Amino acid sequence: MRRNVFLAILSVLMACSLTMQAQFSKLDKYPMIPSDYNGAFFDCVSGYVAGVAKSMYGQYFGQITQGGDIYGYGTFYTDQDGEIIGQYRKGNLIFGIKMGSQTAKVGAEEHYIAYDLHTGDPLYIIKEGQKYLLPADYKDTYRFESLTYKNGDKYVGETVNGKREGYGIYYYANGNYYYGSYKNNERKGYGALFKTDNKITLQYWEEKKE
Protein backbone atom coordinates (compact mmCIF):
# COMPACT_ATOMS: atom_id res chain seq x y z
CA MET A 1 0.00 0.00 0.00
CA ARG A 2 2.72 2.44 1.04
CA ARG A 3 4.72 1.52 -2.03
CA ASN A 4 1.76 2.31 -4.28
CA VAL A 5 1.22 5.66 -2.55
CA PHE A 6 4.93 6.47 -2.89
CA LEU A 7 4.89 5.60 -6.59
CA ALA A 8 1.77 7.71 -7.10
CA ILE A 9 3.38 10.71 -5.38
CA LEU A 10 6.59 10.19 -7.33
CA SER A 11 4.73 10.11 -10.64
CA VAL A 12 2.92 13.35 -9.75
CA LEU A 13 6.20 15.06 -8.80
CA MET A 14 7.84 13.91 -12.02
CA ALA A 15 4.90 15.17 -14.04
CA CYS A 16 5.08 18.53 -12.26
CA SER A 17 8.83 18.67 -12.79
CA LEU A 18 8.44 17.98 -16.50
CA THR A 19 5.70 20.59 -16.73
CA MET A 20 7.88 23.18 -14.95
CA GLN A 21 10.82 22.34 -17.22
CA ALA A 22 8.59 22.70 -20.26
CA GLN A 23 7.33 26.03 -18.97
CA PHE A 24 10.83 27.22 -18.14
CA SER A 25 12.17 26.25 -21.54
CA LYS A 26 9.79 28.88 -22.95
CA LEU A 27 10.72 31.53 -20.38
CA ASP A 28 13.07 34.26 -21.58
CA LYS A 29 15.35 36.09 -19.15
CA TYR A 30 13.52 39.31 -20.02
CA PRO A 31 11.28 40.56 -22.83
CA MET A 32 12.80 39.94 -26.23
CA ILE A 33 11.93 43.29 -27.80
CA PRO A 34 11.61 43.09 -31.61
CA SER A 35 14.11 45.22 -33.48
CA ASP A 36 11.32 47.22 -35.12
CA TYR A 37 9.94 48.24 -31.71
CA ASN A 38 13.38 49.23 -30.49
CA GLY A 39 13.86 51.12 -33.72
CA ALA A 40 10.59 52.99 -33.22
CA PHE A 41 11.67 54.03 -29.72
CA PHE A 42 15.09 55.01 -31.08
CA ASP A 43 13.49 57.19 -33.77
CA CYS A 44 11.09 58.77 -31.27
CA VAL A 45 13.78 59.91 -28.83
CA SER A 46 16.59 60.68 -31.30
CA GLY A 47 15.87 64.42 -31.16
CA TYR A 48 15.80 64.75 -27.38
CA VAL A 49 18.79 66.44 -25.78
CA ALA A 50 20.71 65.39 -22.69
CA GLY A 51 19.94 67.00 -19.39
CA VAL A 52 19.86 66.59 -15.62
CA ALA A 53 16.70 66.14 -13.55
CA LYS A 54 16.32 65.75 -9.81
CA SER A 55 13.51 64.17 -7.85
CA MET A 56 12.86 62.63 -4.44
CA TYR A 57 13.86 59.34 -6.05
CA GLY A 58 17.33 60.51 -7.06
CA GLN A 59 19.23 62.29 -9.82
CA TYR A 60 18.85 61.56 -13.51
CA PHE A 61 21.22 62.24 -16.38
CA GLY A 62 19.91 61.46 -19.82
CA GLN A 63 17.51 62.44 -22.54
CA ILE A 64 14.73 64.88 -21.69
CA THR A 65 11.86 66.21 -23.82
CA GLN A 66 11.36 69.93 -24.47
CA GLY A 67 8.63 69.82 -21.85
CA GLY A 68 11.06 68.48 -19.27
CA ASP A 69 9.88 64.84 -19.22
CA ILE A 70 12.40 62.04 -18.71
CA TYR A 71 12.15 60.20 -22.02
CA GLY A 72 14.85 58.23 -23.82
CA TYR A 73 18.19 56.77 -22.78
CA GLY A 74 19.48 57.78 -19.37
CA THR A 75 20.88 56.92 -15.96
CA PHE A 76 19.22 57.37 -12.58
CA TYR A 77 21.41 57.52 -9.47
CA THR A 78 19.34 56.57 -6.44
CA ASP A 79 19.81 55.76 -2.78
CA GLN A 80 17.27 52.95 -2.90
CA ASP A 81 18.13 51.03 -6.08
CA GLY A 82 21.64 52.25 -6.87
CA GLU A 83 22.43 52.98 -10.50
CA ILE A 84 19.64 52.41 -13.04
CA ILE A 85 20.57 52.74 -16.70
CA GLY A 86 18.43 52.08 -19.72
CA GLN A 87 15.39 53.32 -21.63
CA TYR A 88 12.81 55.58 -19.97
CA ARG A 89 9.33 56.69 -20.95
CA LYS A 90 7.66 59.54 -19.05
CA GLY A 91 10.01 59.06 -16.13
CA ASN A 92 9.55 55.30 -15.85
CA LEU A 93 12.16 52.69 -16.71
CA ILE A 94 10.83 50.46 -19.47
CA PHE A 95 14.00 48.38 -19.96
CA GLY A 96 17.50 48.45 -18.53
CA ILE A 97 19.88 47.47 -15.74
CA LYS A 98 19.43 48.13 -12.03
CA MET A 99 22.63 47.74 -10.01
CA GLY A 100 22.18 47.86 -6.25
CA SER A 101 24.62 46.85 -3.54
CA GLN A 102 23.76 43.14 -3.70
CA THR A 103 22.07 42.35 -7.00
CA ALA A 104 21.85 43.43 -10.62
CA LYS A 105 18.48 43.18 -12.33
CA VAL A 106 18.34 43.17 -16.13
CA GLY A 107 15.11 43.66 -18.04
CA ALA A 108 11.77 45.37 -17.59
CA GLU A 109 9.93 46.23 -14.37
CA GLU A 110 7.66 43.17 -14.57
CA HIS A 111 10.05 40.73 -16.26
CA TYR A 112 13.74 40.56 -15.41
CA ILE A 113 16.60 38.30 -14.38
CA ALA A 114 18.47 38.93 -11.13
CA TYR A 115 22.19 38.27 -10.62
CA ASP A 116 24.32 38.15 -7.48
CA LEU A 117 26.76 41.06 -7.83
CA HIS A 118 29.33 39.42 -5.55
CA THR A 119 29.55 36.10 -7.41
CA GLY A 120 28.10 37.01 -10.80
CA ASP A 121 25.73 34.04 -10.57
CA PRO A 122 22.18 34.24 -11.96
CA LEU A 123 19.66 33.92 -9.12
CA TYR A 124 16.09 33.90 -10.44
CA ILE A 125 13.68 35.35 -12.99
CA ILE A 126 10.68 37.48 -12.10
CA LYS A 127 7.81 37.55 -14.56
CA GLU A 128 4.34 38.96 -13.88
CA GLY A 129 4.79 38.64 -10.13
CA GLN A 130 6.01 35.02 -10.27
CA LYS A 131 9.49 33.98 -9.19
CA TYR A 132 11.20 31.28 -11.23
CA LEU A 133 14.30 29.52 -9.93
CA LEU A 134 16.95 28.72 -12.51
CA PRO A 135 18.37 25.38 -13.64
CA ALA A 136 21.78 24.58 -12.15
CA ASP A 137 23.53 24.76 -15.54
CA TYR A 138 22.61 28.44 -15.87
CA LYS A 139 25.58 29.28 -13.64
CA ASP A 140 27.92 27.61 -16.12
CA THR A 141 26.65 29.77 -18.99
CA TYR A 142 25.08 33.07 -17.90
CA ARG A 143 26.74 35.56 -15.60
CA PHE A 144 26.91 39.24 -14.71
CA GLU A 145 30.56 40.25 -14.59
CA SER A 146 32.98 43.13 -14.35
CA LEU A 147 35.75 42.78 -16.93
CA THR A 148 38.74 45.12 -16.99
CA TYR A 149 40.97 45.50 -20.05
CA LYS A 150 44.62 46.45 -20.49
CA ASN A 151 43.76 49.85 -21.96
CA GLY A 152 41.84 50.83 -18.81
CA ASP A 153 38.36 50.22 -20.23
CA LYS A 154 35.87 48.16 -18.26
CA TYR A 155 32.71 46.20 -19.08
CA VAL A 156 30.00 45.59 -16.49
CA GLY A 157 27.13 43.42 -17.62
CA GLU A 158 25.88 40.10 -18.85
CA THR A 159 28.16 37.46 -20.29
CA VAL A 160 27.60 34.10 -21.95
CA ASN A 161 30.42 31.59 -21.63
CA GLY A 162 32.77 34.41 -20.67
CA LYS A 163 31.95 36.66 -23.62
CA ARG A 164 30.06 39.97 -23.57
CA GLU A 165 26.53 38.96 -24.47
CA GLY A 166 23.22 40.38 -23.34
CA TYR A 167 22.98 43.89 -21.88
CA GLY A 168 25.85 45.77 -20.33
CA ILE A 169 27.73 49.00 -19.81
CA TYR A 170 31.14 49.65 -21.34
CA TYR A 171 33.17 52.24 -19.43
CA TYR A 172 35.94 53.91 -21.39
CA ALA A 173 39.13 55.04 -19.70
CA ASN A 174 38.39 58.62 -20.84
CA GLY A 175 35.19 58.73 -18.76
CA ASN A 176 32.63 58.05 -21.49
CA TYR A 177 30.36 55.01 -21.15
CA TYR A 178 28.11 53.06 -23.49
CA TYR A 179 24.89 51.17 -22.66
CA GLY A 180 23.45 48.61 -25.03
CA SER A 181 23.22 44.98 -26.06
CA TYR A 182 26.03 42.65 -27.07
CA LYS A 183 26.50 39.35 -28.82
CA ASN A 184 29.71 37.35 -29.03
CA ASN A 185 31.75 40.25 -27.56
CA GLU A 186 30.42 42.73 -30.14
CA ARG A 187 27.81 45.46 -29.82
CA LYS A 188 24.58 44.84 -31.64
CA GLY A 189 21.34 46.73 -32.04
CA TYR A 190 20.51 50.02 -30.36
CA GLY A 191 22.38 51.78 -27.57
CA ALA A 192 23.60 55.09 -26.23
CA LEU A 193 27.02 56.63 -25.66
CA PHE A 194 27.14 58.94 -22.60
CA LYS A 195 29.95 61.47 -22.91
CA THR A 196 31.87 63.51 -20.38
CA ASP A 197 30.79 66.72 -22.16
CA ASN A 198 27.20 65.94 -21.02
CA LYS A 199 26.08 64.85 -24.46
CA ILE A 200 24.46 61.56 -25.47
CA THR A 201 24.91 59.95 -28.87
CA LEU A 202 22.45 57.25 -29.91
CA GLN A 203 24.04 54.47 -31.92
CA TYR A 204 22.96 51.46 -33.94
CA TRP A 205 25.23 48.49 -34.56
CA GLU A 206 24.61 45.85 -37.21
CA GLU A 207 25.08 42.31 -35.99
CA LYS A 208 28.29 40.90 -37.42
CA LYS A 209 27.95 37.85 -39.62
CA GLU A 210 30.00 34.86 -38.49
Give the pLDDT confidence of 36-52 residue by residue, as tens digits: 999 999 999 999 999 99
Beta strands in the chain (DSSP E): 49-54, 58-64, 70-78, 82-89, 92-99, 103-107, 111-116, 122-127, 130-133, 142-148, 154-160, 163-171, 177-183, 186-194, 200-205
> Is residue 72 a contact partner of residue 45, using CB atoms and an 8 Å limit?
yes
pLDDT at 104: 98
Q: Are 155 and 146 in contact (CB under 8 A)?
A: yes
Q: What is the pLDDT of residues 1-14, one digit of tens each?
A: 544 433 343 343 33
Query: Region 110-135: what's the mean pLDDT?
Result: 95
pLDDT in tens, 125-151: 999 999 999 988 888 899 999 999 999
Q: What percent of the chain has pLDDT over 70?
A: 86
